[in-house]
Structure 1
């Protein structure tokens, strides 16, 4: 069932974005009087279509893309018969270069607008909720395996990131740290300040599936939140707002202490010392084979909440949207410099579906759809033949030089671009399968 939910979210998100992207091309083409023969979401074989005027609108069976067929344009259909005839006034090739350029950029522009709208809506609806540096440093961090590899320790207090003060703890684990070069932490440990350097290829280790949760997180005092029905926690009598202070007599202050203790007692019976209404009780519970009891922890750290006006949300959302593009540029830079391998950095449909998760969460769905909209805009803007960016570079050359490339050149460029894109797609899918299996 989880696989179906992942696939469903991926297909819905991509269908929305691809449909709007191709709609950008269609609207721009019709605005300049070009004939649009087909508008399809999904690739052939055709599942359904309807004719409206000169355009056939339809759905394809392969839901990972879409296309618009504009008369007189060399595209993935490679319809050379049409190109051998005399240009007609309604054809793409008969229009001025600046109009053709706008048509090619129409999809990218729509994806950028959609991405910005989604991020603005999220910022306006949710505001911001974060842990301040001061709040985290009340108790310090919990250092996972990867954190200890670079010299961090549980209890460290991070006072600077890349030599600068910071307000939001998420900045300590953000893109500026892992996608930049020469990043570092300044931590306070036993009253001393220590600089911890972060390797330039460290993000490669963080991208490993098994690395999840093995870097840093705040040390969190906690109480019992929601008790899951039909679990050992419910059978033991745990209630919301109970505070577990000891397990088998071993003191527990933070949630990571409880996790570590239960991990060592999997499948066993334990005595839980619980603080409830200023009184202490002892409860007996089983521990699952995964080292859990069956409740959600409620953090006692004080989160800072910020509500945005519409104007503020527009600024914040736009910044976050373009931050996605900026991070993609920095990520490609790391690949080209050899600091990160492409196999670790790139994901295909399977990897993206896993990002959506096996539970349908509309908040996460729209966030990832906004992120993908900006990624699609960035990828389509790359100067690769067969992509919008490749077509745009050729059109810019024509506008500057005054010379139009031959149809044969355009056809060969399209073929080269399609080979590159199909190769990249095959690599991404194979890479996803490899990471999933091994």
Structure 2
């Protein structure tokens, strides 16, 4: 319950900040061009609001709604989610959105997306300024990588050190690295001191990312690093420094393979509704082999840690002014990666992977970590900016599309057309929202 509350609080805080900044972008340009803003709300307020106030001599009512599905900035003389069609039947007033030149209306509509993107760049810059950047370079992972069966069939071998994908250097172990590998025509690895070229078939990042064991993982030697006192390993006589050679008769060449076999045992025990399980383990100590039986506990925890390797860590620090170009680069690369991955959403598996608030909340850490919180907030700001600029009615991108049509064709779409487009767009968005959260429910239940 505590984990749920921590994640929920982080999600609410993050989304509230993003909504304020997004709607603040619309508000800023609207007021810059002397367009009246009637409402500025965090979350939606159908029927009632949790809090509202209207400053003296102000045209704007500020408030907090009860429906946490975003927020809105109600601008006079505009067909938006408020569907205030009665206002549109009245003669146009000089302070209304519809009375302003197309270029001003265009800036009002892109203001939210612009602010979200700038916010992400600023947050990334401040993260680098405050915490710097630390990682272990792939070239320094001297034990190389561990590859699953799919990767082995392509031509990778355990212990390969990843160097480049289509002549692009592979620097660190992350999703960008996996994306570069999957989309490359050729991957270069260092094998036994020699460079090897591996020709890549056509792969789907979505399929590769879901594979278990992972397509590629850091190689962990099959050597025990520490043993939990009183646990199953300690009772079986396993000690620090022992090499694990076989699990229930299956040879082990790495700690990765041991964990894979433990996962299979755990899954089998859960299907058979067993609260404990045992397995035979062949190990070697100073060249002497022995076989023992290890009994797992009720949680099927691994009572030993193995394969820990002390690699050299790369640490980068940034001065205040240095952090901004680095933050911009990080933000742009994040946007490129997200846009590139959007193509998978339109596949069958991609549609199943779409998630709602549960999925979004799960990306936040289980304990409060400010660095991780700001990283996730910046990422969500990138997503919000991109999703809102899509040319879908009811989104900012839909309004931008119609404004561009007006600028090019020199004629406005009719108010009736805009009303219907808004309704269709809202229907699509609510359908997507329901589908995404339905997927979350299915994941929780099954």
TM norm structure 1: 0.81
Moved more, 123-132 or 186-195: 186-195
Task: Check whether the contact 1:40–1:59 (CA below 8 A) recurs between aligned residues.
Answer: yes
> Which of 90, 94, 107 is the matching residue for 1:89?
94
> What is the match of residue 116 of structure 2?
111
Between the aligned partners of 2:245 and 2:108, the Cα distance in structure 1 is 69
2:22 aligned with 1:21: yes
CA distance in 1, matches of 2:95, 2:230: 68
Unaligned runs of 5+ in 1: 237-241, 276-284
5 Å matches for 1:117-132?
A: 117-132=122-137
Question: The residue matched to 2:26 in structure 1 has which SS?
Answer: helix
> Equivalent residues in 2 for 1:34-433 (5 A)?
34-45=35-46, 46-52=49-55, 53-136=58-141, 138-144=142-148, 146-148=150-152, 150-170=154-174, 173-178=177-182, 180=183, 182-189=184-191, 194-208=196-210, 211=211, 214-220=214-220, 232=231, 244-246=241-243, 255-256=255-256, 259=259, 287-288=296-297, 289-293=299-303, 299-335=309-345, 341-344=349-352, 346-433=354-441
1:437 and 1:145 mapped to 2: Cα distance? Answer: 30
Partner of 1:301, secondary structure, is coil
Structure 2: distance between partners of 1:176 and 1:261: 29
Q: Distance in 1 between matches of 2:176 and 2:402?
A: 42
Superposed displacement of residue 376, structure 1? 0.6
Does the 8 Å CA contact 1:43/1:64 hold for their aligned counterparts? yes
Aligned twin of 1:5: 6
Question: Is this contact kept in 1: 2:181–2:187, CA < 8 A?
Answer: no
Task: Give the CA RMSD over aligned residues.
Answer: 3.7
- Alpha carbons of structure 1 residues 176 and 167: separation in structure 2 relative to 1, 3 Å: closer
Deviation at 1:253, TM superposition (A): 9.7
Residue pair 1:43, 1:60 contacting (<8 A) in 2 also: yes
Q: What is the Cα deviation at residue 396 of structure 1?
A: 2.2
> How many positions carry a matched residue from both structures?
417
Secondary structure class of the residue paired with 1:356? coil
Q: Is the 8 A contact 1:243 1:274 kept in 2?
A: no
Alignment partner, residue 270 of structure 2: none
Distance verdict in 2 for CA 1:408–1:173, change over 3 Å: same
Contact 1:21 1:108 in 2 (8 A): yes
Displacement of 1:150 after TM fit? 4.1
Tell me, yes or no, if the aligned pair for 1:267 and 1:291 is still in contact at 8 Å: no
What whole-Å deviation, never above 9, does each CA across 1:116-145 have from its counterpart, x for those lacking one? 011111122222222223322x22212245
SS at match of 1:77: coil
Task: Tell me, in whole angstroms, the C-alpha distance in 2 between the residues paired with 1:111 and 1:39.
Answer: 17
Using a 3 Å threshold, how does the CA distance of structure 1 residues 99 and 231 change in structure 2: closer, same or farther? farther
CA 1:307–1:71: 2 relative to 1, 3 Å: same
TM-score, with length taken from structure 2? 0.80
Q: 1:249 to 1:415 in 2, by over 3 A?
A: closer
* SS of residue in 1 equivalent to 2:83: coil
